Amino acid sequence: MQYFCTLFDSHYLSRGLVMYESLRLCAKEFHLYIFPFDARSLKILRELNLDHVTLISLKEFENEDMLHVKPTRSKGEYCWTCTPYAIQYALEKFDLPQCTYLDADLCFYGDPGILLNEMGEASILITEHRYTPEYDQSVTSGIYCVQFLSIKNDMFGLEALHWWRDRCLEWCYGRVEDGKFGDQKYLDDWTTRFRGVHVLRHIGGGVAPWNVQQYELTRNKAKQWRLNSPLSEPVPLIFYHFHYVRFLDEKFVDISPYRLDLNNVLLLYANYIRRLHTANRLLAKYDLAQPQQEYQETRMWLAPWDKIKRIWRGTYNVFDQHKFIDRWQD
């Protein structure tokens, strides 16, 4: 059995549902612990009554330490602060042998058990950003990405988890300061600070807009996604991190500020946007008073010069979402 946890509020609810559904289709045996971060997401998830899911409300989850720092942090910063707490809560409350944290904007295309099996006897699994050189942000954003992080309920795993929890409680903000950034930069020295740390080798785990330029994505006759790299044999794509996807209004979506080879990833993003539309239609049945999608304005959308710069850099990835998803042929 694979045990996962995730956290999100109603603004990321559709993404969380897509992540869950992809996990349901790809994982052999799993249970997902969801920490809804507002009343609306908790209400809707309770009504959906998803299989293989346990909901943990903020009332159950939050402790005095967390509530003390909550007013000093933005919604995003507070979510980062709570990530190690969520893993710890799941491990302790449900007496799990291991728990893997998942970002809500992941989408699975293969069995995550493949990645977890790679750990062997290790107590901790972390994933590198694997930045494409032109996008290397290791100095500011960290070598590793919290996106898919697994901790075993043993001495080495808990040592690292408790240290990380305490550091995030002390400082967890969306800015670079004294070698820190959010909850993520704390992971930079884990391979030397703690024992039992394994860095994922499988390149099919952790594909994201900041590294996809290094690969070619294809689908075989069985409609399975494959990842091709000049440096390795083709491997199955296990998950893609759909970081940044922003709906600008009812018509347009900005899928990435990074350079994308549309021949390789266009269909992948079109499929994801279609899945989000499906999730939003489902949510509309449960919450008719709320908009299906939160719109996010960006500098590029507001300032023509920013649009020109992105066109010049080859990073202008804004699409009419309805025409965009029509390109997807399953």
Look up the pTM and report it: 0.95
Residues in the chain: 330
Residue 206 binned pLDDT confidence (cut-offs 50, 70, 90): very high
- Residue 70: what pLDDT? 97
pLDDT at 229 over 90: no
Residue 328 binned pLDDT confidence (cut-offs 50, 70, 90): low
- Residue 296: what pLDDT? 66
Which residue in 32, 33, 35, 40 sits closest to 11, CA to CA? Answer: 40
Question: Is the distance from CB of 123 to CB of 196 less than 8 angstroms?
Answer: yes
Higher pLDDT, residue 318 or 126 = 126
Q: At what angle do helices 262-286 and 13-26 cross, to 10 degrees?
A: 110
- Give the DSSP H or E segment for 117: helix 113-117
Helix (H, G, I), strand (E, B) or coil at 236: strand
Q: If you average pLDDT over every residue of the chain, what do you get?
A: 92
H-type helices in the chain, by residue range? 13-26, 39-48, 58-61, 64-69, 75-93, 113-117, 138-141, 155-170, 190-193, 262-286, 299-302, 304-313, 321-326
- Residue 326: what pLDDT? 76
- Residue 219: what pLDDT? 84
Question: Is the distance from CB of 200 to CB of 130 less than 8 angstroms?
Answer: no
Domains, the chain, in order of start with CATH, read 2-207 (3.90.550.10), 244-326 (no CATH)
Burial class (CB in 10 A: 0-12, 13-18, 19+), 97: exposed
pLDDT at 122 over 60: yes
- Residue 314: what pLDDT? 85
Please give the Cα distance from 175 to 183 (Å, whole number): 11
**Mean pLDDT across the stretch 244-255?**
89
pLDDT at 20 over 70: yes
Question: Is the distance from CB of 110 to CB of 26 less than 8 angstroms?
Answer: yes
Question: Is the distance from CB of 182 to CB of 173 less than 8 angstroms?
Answer: yes
Tokens describing residue 55: 């909901």
Q: 10 Å Cβ neighbour count for 188?
A: 17
